[in-house]
Structure 1
Amino acid sequence: MKFVFEGHEYELSDLELKILKYHKIMGPDYSKLISHRFHISLQEAFDIHKKLLSMGLLQKVTAPIINYHSKDKRLKSLKHRNHTYYDLSRTGKLLLREYERQIKEIELELEFPYKR
């Protein structure tokens, strides 16, 4: 789907929008876990993260320790980073908010319990 935001045109698939929404809800994550959560190949998860990173919608996390959050804010944990983690950039957060405001809310069905 094509979407114009701040003078730039973005073409994002439904899956890419769901992955952006996932990062908004869950925070930083890595491609292998994304491939597991969305039942896609690892290569497809790498490619999507690479595309969203090049568009400026995601950023690489540089901190050596990651704070994990879940929908239930009581479930929070710290983890040492062993993979390349990605999180929403400021542009990604703004684009996602504007998309959901103008077009439609992105439905994301996350399965509980989470394993990290």
Structure 2
Amino acid sequence: MSGGNTLRERPGSYRGLELLPVHLYVLSHLKKAGVDYAKMMAKISELPLSLIEDAVRDLMEAGLIERDSGSAIKRSKARFKKAFEVHKHHTYYRLSREGELFVRRIDEKWLKEYFNSLFPNGWKVIKGLSRSGKFEDLPQEFQREEIQEELLVYRFITPSGRATRFFSFLVEFLGIKTR
């Protein structure tokens, strides 16, 4: 009942929710930050706020994140905050206990299966793009139009082929090693 079997069987879904890279970003962002709000996640990743809000809603419905209660937040709880304590002016979110357990199980093997399920040779493409930062610097075998289209759809690259800020933070937060 913990969702462990779901994780092992299909890396791309969690209890009926098809996990998109934006979902992984929100989960990994909250793991790093402790608590944060949707507008800040959008600002940091340079993704549209509506996309982050949809991901937050999906993850709340799946039980992986929850609202953080209280009227103030200390920096020890919100690690991305600069002030010692801030009063909340937004709805803050954090990983639920279930979300914490799920995120802990995301390892390199899981990520490899996940990205390979998104598109052909996904793991090698992600590693190569995280190393070079440009689609044109990927090995020739990966410079196919369908792979480029997938990378654009998932907002991993810009139309000019450069890695997006979202992609850079996703790779960093997930701990994907470039070597």
- State the TM-score, normalized to the length of structure 1: 0.75
Distance in 1 between residues matched to 2:108 and 2:60, nearest whole Å: 23
Gaps of 5+ in 2: 7-12, 113-169, 174-179
Identity among equivalent pairs (%):
26
Gaps of 5+ in 1: 110-116
Structure 2 match to 1:112: none
State the Cα distance separating 1:6 from its structure 2 match. 3.0
Distance in 2 between residues matched to 1:59 and 1:101, nearest whole Å: 26
Retained in 1: the 8 A contact 2:26–2:52? no
Root-mean-square deviation (CA), in Å?
A: 2.4
Rg bigger for which structure? Answer: 2
Aligned length: 102
Distance in 1 between residues matched to 2:35 and 2:65, nearest whole Å: 10
State the Cα distance separating 1:107 from its structure 2 match. 2.5
After superposition, the C-alpha distances for 1:2-42 in whole angstroms (9 at most, x for unaligned) are xx933445121122112211101111111111111111111
Q: 1:100 to 1:76 in 2, by over 3 A?
A: farther
1:108 aligns with 2:108: no
> Which letter maps to 1:59?
E
More strand by share: 1
Structure 1 match to 2:44: 37
Retained in 1: the 8 A contact 2:64–2:99? yes
Structure 1 match to 2:97: 90
- State the TM-score, normalized to the length of structure 2: 0.51
Distance in 1 between residues matched to 2:99 and 2:108, nearest whole Å: 14
Structure 1 match to 2:72: 65
